[in-house]
Structure 1
């Protein structure tokens, strides 16, 4: 991400808060080649912070499995997330993306989606979004990705407003021996090396080294976007068990560079301990340290994060209770040259404490009421109370009908409160953006070879960000909470098993937006903070096993125009042909964006890049 471009764009148009980490331990599963019945029985942890079957989860949740990732042909995590029909993905540069659920998408306004990797929040205090260029995972080591659309504040805290992405990587026990993955293509070059081994009979370890090199994108009017990037990352993980519980340690370091004196360096270390306590359920404790140093010419940002959290899950008769809490400390410093947009003060220490409790009450064998609340206290923005109520009814035919009412908040980011441009913009007292969400969903398996999920939502927002002039002198401007409105839509997806060797996945999402200014408010940005979103999106994925060794995957997507900017809608196709050999070696050729010569995915004039056709050849062994 260009810090200079981000600050300059946000100073006129907009971008926010804190988030809580998930201390739930990993739930290893073999998700390769599952039948539809097995897919419905996948255990997910994101909905209730404890393992439960996907078929009984009372939320709009979509799971991307390890086999889905392998067969996507994707070279990066954001491209993998295109598989989720309840996400809207916009590529805005070589390594920069805007990703959201249920609206508010653009590079500066995609700030209402919480993302966790093994319980570690990758939210940034700068603008409340995710800097996707820093998330260089080894894709083959991801166990599953759970994508929840809809608020999750009662469990995950502020900024889990429109959705939660929970990424779980594989246990070191499942990654033994040597492995290599190499890819070369018109846009991407990648290499991943991994080796794992046993630690006696109780544990296992793995080490990895991965790198990428990505080409420049092209500008709309021609010429290079000058945003090529290359990077390297190394790290490892250890898992072991003994009489005192289950332990996990992991960490990595990375170094990314782009032309024009742009660099990103950092790393993290995370530890987790969990233990069954007999009649007292299970307790999990997690702590991590994360650092990131980002340089863009004369602008530098340093972030240091310490986080510790605890949760206990206990069953008491008809009550399944999860409670816990945590504390986070963030040091954020941004320096920029005199006269440029900057943050005042340049450095801030932000602390965040939280407590939560959720009770799943079995009213009857087929009726479960879930009540939960999280209370967060931030030194930067104060106290937020985030309640949630869900009701799930299991019908006689095995289907599930559920409904939910939730409150969520996007708390102020440093840009919201501290961004200053002398004579033009001053810091203000920006308050939290508030959401009250109403959801209704249905999940079923109407036939042996068909899974189906349908959800409807109505989101009522208030105190949305605006850019307000001074009442007397117009300048300086300041961020205010002058917007309000609502969104509504339908999210539907299903899988149809045409035969044991051929499966079709279809997803359809609609979005209707109505926003306005509060009476008496003024916004010179014309409510730019609500983003630029398509009103519908359709995804169709075909997975065919042509022979025992030959796979054919086709990914089609149709996306409506971006109404705010007038960027045309598009229909695109990706195709992957893979060969799997007896010795565990796999060779695959992927063609992306095969229909159109060129297209755009974002309406941001400063970030529009032409995307065209590409090819990518990968070789994997040992994964």
Structure 2
């Protein structure tokens, strides 16, 4: 993780490392996650998601929470969605063995968590089928993740139409940081997983790594305690190489995966294959006093079962130039994405018409960060997009930040964001009952106010308030006179407001306490009307609050104890819950680590989602893991 302050005895990165010399967490270039940064050093960690250029976390005028590599290691989590539970500004609902509903600032639920953009190394995981993320198809080798930047709040001015309520930016380490061999294996009463990685130098100007991971997810339970027959497993393999040619920095990476999951409707456990892969290339070089980046990727995802086939092939090209002129720091960019989508079903009653579509998304954006003096910074930005379904979208953003002489940051923002239609909303057809319609983009106007501070060297906190107004939300409307067929329309309105706060305190150099809380209030009319017979189900099912508590304690130089508590309020038809996870880790040598993690230790059966069809129960589990570096 980049930082301004260098850890003691940390050797500098090789001069050919992308981004130049960087300081890392830890005492060695190949073991960057074994020493924790102080809270002051964490405030200077560079983040890139807020303004698409490096800036210190303390200067970022947004509600951003950073999950570090050390946080991931000490969580004991075995999947990316479980890691995201560490972010207090996210709502994570586990639906079954592999499916999750994850959202920021409301609208959560398996069918409604469609307003959050997720990126892995600049590659979007957005699905044009339902506007969400298929979490059973997307994962990373967790040991390779450098950090996860979680922004709650609109990101449309930089990231486009589908960053409506937030952005999750997952950034993996460069191959320079992962030389050598790593082997990790673990098993428990529910899950099993392994990871193998090897990396080395690439001539005198680069480095590479290759990896292989596998997992088995045990079946969840029905609400009455029976086996839900939704166990799953899969393999993933990939490689990455970074190298330099003069001033040019190049990255080439890709992976392939093959997973088997189970459709658990009626607890039949029908097997479904989920497979695919991607290849991504990135070129960076200095230009005109700044940095030019060109990125392209090709992504394939296929989901096939006895009754359906879903194929998506995505081509994406983007260009970005960040540079400074006097008091101004500019970021300019453009991009084009093309998705070849094919949806086939065996049912003659419900289908997508047409079965094959090619969707395009083209954008240009500009942002200017202006130093006004006396600690004031004004950021103005906007993105103009054109998509196949709803045409042009204009997404502006304005942010004003004031950094006090002591380092505290006060900021305010107003933004417009939107979510473009997906294939289900435009093409789903049930003759005589439901027909495709001219569904438009959902829109939101968001006001935000935030404060971030390090009042003491051992204390830091952030508090953010928001008020969002949503228009054109998805509704289900009748046809005048005849009632049927129903159509998907944009007659919904809602407002949300809430507060997100988190902070940390170092009791001692070996013991850190952290806490986070988020609240949410939604105002809408859920009364069924001819304009919306669904009662505005598209607003999702969210708790009014959630509280996260965490303790990270180094009992000795070699033994770690991590305790996490979370309390989540009631949903409409699901009781709230309090749960605890505990991890005990032993560093047997500098290269060998053993850990034992207990999850969901308080309740023997817990349901996290109000989905009446997919909602499954989860109970206590234990997972033991051994990790070795060579």
Which secondary structure does the structure 1 equivalent of 2:136 belong to? helix
1:154 maps to 157
1:475 to 480, 484, 488: 484
Cα deviation for residue 476 of structure 1 reads 1.0
2:547 maps to 538
Taking the aligned partners of 2:296 and 2:586, their CA distance within structure 1 comes to 41
Taking the aligned partners of 1:171 and 1:519, their CA distance within structure 2 comes to 53
Cα deviation for residue 529 of structure 1 reads 0.2
Q: Are 2:617 and 1:607 equivalent residues in the alignment? A: no
Taking the aligned partners of 1:266 and 1:541, their CA distance within structure 2 comes to 36
1:235 to 226, 234, 238: 238
Which secondary structure does the structure 1 equivalent of 2:501 belong to? strand
Given that 1:276 and 1:283 are in contact with CA atoms closer than 8 Å, whether structure 2 keeps it comes out as yes
Taking the aligned partners of 2:41 and 2:247, their CA distance within structure 1 comes to 33
Which secondary structure does the structure 1 equivalent of 2:434 belong to? coil
CA shift digits 1:324-348 (9 cap, x unpaired): 0000000000000132421110010
1:457 maps to 466
Q: Are 2:81 and 1:78 equivalent residues in the alignment? A: yes
Q: Are 2:109 and 1:97 equivalent residues in the alignment? A: no
Higher relative contact order (CA 8 A, sep 6+): 1
Cα deviation for residue 287 of structure 1 reads 0.1
2:139 to 122, 136, 139: 136
Taking the aligned partners of 2:496 and 2:331, their CA distance within structure 1 comes to 31
Cα deviation for residue 518 of structure 1 reads 11
1:200 maps to 203
Question: Equivalent residues in 2 for 1:483-498 (5 A)?
Answer: 483-498=492-507
1:35 to 17, 35, 38: 38
Given that 1:483 and 1:517 are in contact with CA atoms closer than 8 Å, whether structure 2 keeps it comes out as no
Taking the aligned partners of 2:530 and 2:118, their CA distance within structure 1 comes to 33
Taking the aligned partners of 1:458 and 1:449, their CA distance within structure 2 comes to 31
1:121 maps to 124
Taking the aligned partners of 2:420 and 2:525, their CA distance within structure 1 comes to 20
CA shift digits 1:84-125 (9 cap, x unpaired): 000000000101000000000000000000000000000000
Given that 2:318 and 2:333 are in contact with CA atoms closer than 8 Å, whether structure 1 keeps it comes out as yes
Gaps of 5+ in 2: 1-17, 26-32, 263-269
Which stretch of the first structure deviates more once superposed, 330-339 or 67-76?
A: 330-339
1:553 maps to 562
1:568 to 571, 575, 592: 575
Taking the aligned partners of 2:49 and 2:462, their CA distance within structure 1 comes to 17
Cα deviation for residue 583 of structure 1 reads 3.6
Taking the aligned partners of 1:67 and 1:550, their CA distance within structure 2 comes to 14
Given that 1:261 and 1:295 are in contact with CA atoms closer than 8 Å, whether structure 2 keeps it comes out as no
1:310 maps to 319
Which stretch of the first structure deviates more once superposed, 208-217 or 335-344?
A: 335-344
Q: Are 2:166 and 1:163 equivalent residues in the alignment? A: yes
Question: Equivalent residues in 2 for 1:363-382 (5 A)?
Answer: 363-382=372-391
Gaps of 5+ in 1: 1-24
1:180 maps to 183
Q: Are 2:269 and 1:262 equivalent residues in the alignment? A: no
Q: Are 2:96 and 1:88 equivalent residues in the alignment? A: no
Taking the aligned partners of 1:26 and 1:333, their CA distance within structure 2 comes to 40
2:28 maps to none
1:585 maps to 592
Taking the aligned partners of 2:151 and 2:334, their CA distance within structure 1 comes to 21
Given that 1:26 and 1:118 are in contact with CA atoms closer than 8 Å, whether structure 2 keeps it comes out as no
Taking the aligned partners of 1:161 and 1:473, their CA distance within structure 2 comes to 36
Cα deviation for residue 380 of structure 1 reads 2.2
Q: Are 2:290 and 1:287 equivalent residues in the alignment? A: no
Cα deviation for residue 581 of structure 1 reads 2.2
Given that 1:26 and 1:171 are in contact with CA atoms closer than 8 Å, whether structure 2 keeps it comes out as no
CA shift digits 1:340-367 (9 cap, x unpaired): 4211100100111100000000011400
Taking the aligned partners of 2:218 and 2:527, their CA distance within structure 1 comes to 45
| TM-score with structure 2 setting the length | 0.93
Taking the aligned partners of 2:23 and 2:46, their CA distance within structure 1 comes to 8
1:343 to 328, 332, 352: 352
Cα deviation for residue 244 of structure 1 reads 4.4
1:275 maps to 285
1:106 to 97, 100, 109: 109
Cα deviation for residue 521 of structure 1 reads 5.4
2:475 maps to 466
Question: Equivalent residues in 2 for 1:432-447 (5 A)?
Answer: 432-447=441-456
1:594 to 601, 607, 613: 601
Q: Are 2:326 and 1:332 equivalent residues in the alignment? A: no
Given that 2:247 and 2:286 are in contact with CA atoms closer than 8 Å, whether structure 1 keeps it comes out as no
1:506 maps to 515
Given that 1:482 and 1:521 are in contact with CA atoms closer than 8 Å, whether structure 2 keeps it comes out as no
Which secondary structure does the structure 1 equivalent of 2:532 belong to? coil
Taking the aligned partners of 2:196 and 2:385, their CA distance within structure 1 comes to 41
Taking the aligned partners of 2:200 and 2:490, their CA distance within structure 1 comes to 54
CA shift digits 1:117-154 (9 cap, x unpaired): 00000000001000101112100000000000000000
Given that 1:339 and 1:422 are in contact with CA atoms closer than 8 Å, whether structure 2 keeps it comes out as no
